[in-house]
Amino acid sequence: MSAFSEHNFAGQKALIRVDFNVPLDKQTRAITDDTRMRATLPTIKKILADGGSVILMSHLGRPKEGPEEKSSLKHLVPHLKELLGEGTHVFFADDCIGEQAYLTASMLKPGEVLLLENLRFYKEEEKGDKGFAEKLSKLGDIYVNDAFGTAHRAHASTAVIADFFPAGKKLFGTVMEGEVIAGEKVLHNSERPFVAIIGGAKVSDKILIIENLLERATDVIIGGGMAYTFMKARGGKIGSSLCEEDRLGTATDLLKKAIEKGVSIHLPEDSIIADKFAADAETKTCPSDQIPDGWMGLDIGPKAAGIFSEVIRKSKTILWNGPMGVFEMEKFQAGTKAIADAVAESTENGAYSLVGGGDSVAAVNQFGYTDKVSYVSTGGGAMLEFFEGKQLPGIAAIKNS
Ligand code: 3PG
Ligand code: MG
């Protein structure tokens, strides 16, 4: 039993910080991936079922100059109504701290929901302004933080606001609880062998997470564009593959550190190379350290996929962040698919697998593996920082108070 599930919300107005920062279609403003909205439904429904009412607050996008049409949370109202079902009354306030917001919040009846306008229409949100946090806090009787995706930000609504609620009146919701349990299991209670699969374009984004995982994992698999900086650091020829010249030294240091720690780093032995970055490119398979000039690696090759899959199959704990190639293009998705397959198989055989980071989650969804892994994180940047070993402000604000 968790603090959230044990709490009875009857007669209370729960102010929930959610991460409804969902991708919207540029033209129609329709939601293109509602994972983060669906993830919070158990939290919202439990409070409503208890006889409480719900006030939802979130940011959307990165508005810089106050209110703007394209970042309005009003675009989410129809879908929120659909997700909650016909019987639930959903109100919208077009200013998160305005008179209308207070009035609607104070008149909310048990079972009703109020969605507030974008918190980032106020600069005070990102600044972590105390006065703004206090104003928000007046909207509810109890604060629930369920925004794991934004937990790495020390903003007014994600962290500072917790100071305005006494102990027992600030809780994690089910998303936060689930993320923290899954993350801590992998970071502090992993069964070995423990493989970390790290992909994506840039080494610079993943240095800290690799460093921290070298302290904990038995194997680290490196794929995606970032693998070529490692290949070049080891003296390989990488043609015109992605390379962060200024990170060659970092890559060498990480490889050395892995040897010192007795962690096996697996780089892709071969690659699918292309003559241009395009869906209709000419392609061939080639050793990853002998890529001809004018060609670039856009996916791991079949040998690499086989070796990586072997490592994954013998692992008991699997952490996956970042795709193996440009999986959005059909010619370069076999590597990521093979990894998803191996992770699913290993999970079926008893391993614990956690997948996170926008692109890897999109890949897992696209290939239909969502229910075949143990846990899919709703965090991008937050998930990275969690596995870098950092204290996330959104977690600390409740846990340490
Ligand atoms: C995210 O999508 O990364 C979170 O919602 C946080 O948004 P931000 O990166 O704009 O702070
Ligand atoms: Mg982000």
* Model confidence, pTM: 0.94
Q: Cα of 310 to ligand 1 centre, how many Å?
A: 35
pLDDT on residue 357: 87
Question: Cis omega (within 30 of 0) on the bond before 193?
Answer: yes
Choosing from 130, 185, 202, 237, the catalytic residue is 202
pLDDT in tens, 227-263: 999 999 999 999 999 999 999 999 999 999 999 999 9
- Rounded to whole angstroms, how far apart are CA atoms 263 and 186? 16
- Rounded to whole angstroms, how far apart are CA atoms 111 and 145? 19
- Rounded to whole angstroms, how far apart are CA atoms 202 and 204? 5
pLDDT in tens, 270-308: 999 999 999 999 999 999 999 999 999 999 999 999 999
Alpha helices of 74-202 — where are they, by DSSP H? 77-84, 99-107, 123-127, 130-137, 174-188
Q: Cα of 358 to ligand 2 centre, how many Å?
A: 9
pLDDT on residue 358: 76
Q: Which two tokens stand for residue 143?
A: 């604060």
Candidates 114, 148, 136; CA nearest to 44 is 114
**Whether 36 is catalytic:** yes
Pocket test for ligand 1, best of 22, 153, 205 (most atoms within 8 A of CB): 153
DSSP 288: T
- The list of the chain residues with pLDDT below 50 reads none
Q: Which two tokens stand for residue 26?
A: 């540029």
**Whether 358 is catalytic:** yes
Q: Angle 41-50/174-188 helices, nearest 10 degrees?
A: 130
pLDDT on residue 359: 87
CB 158, CB 113: distance < 8 Å:
no
Q: Which two tokens stand for residue 163?
A: 């100071």
- Rounded to whole angstroms, how far apart are CA atoms 43 and 58? 15
CB 301, CB 178: distance < 8 Å:
no
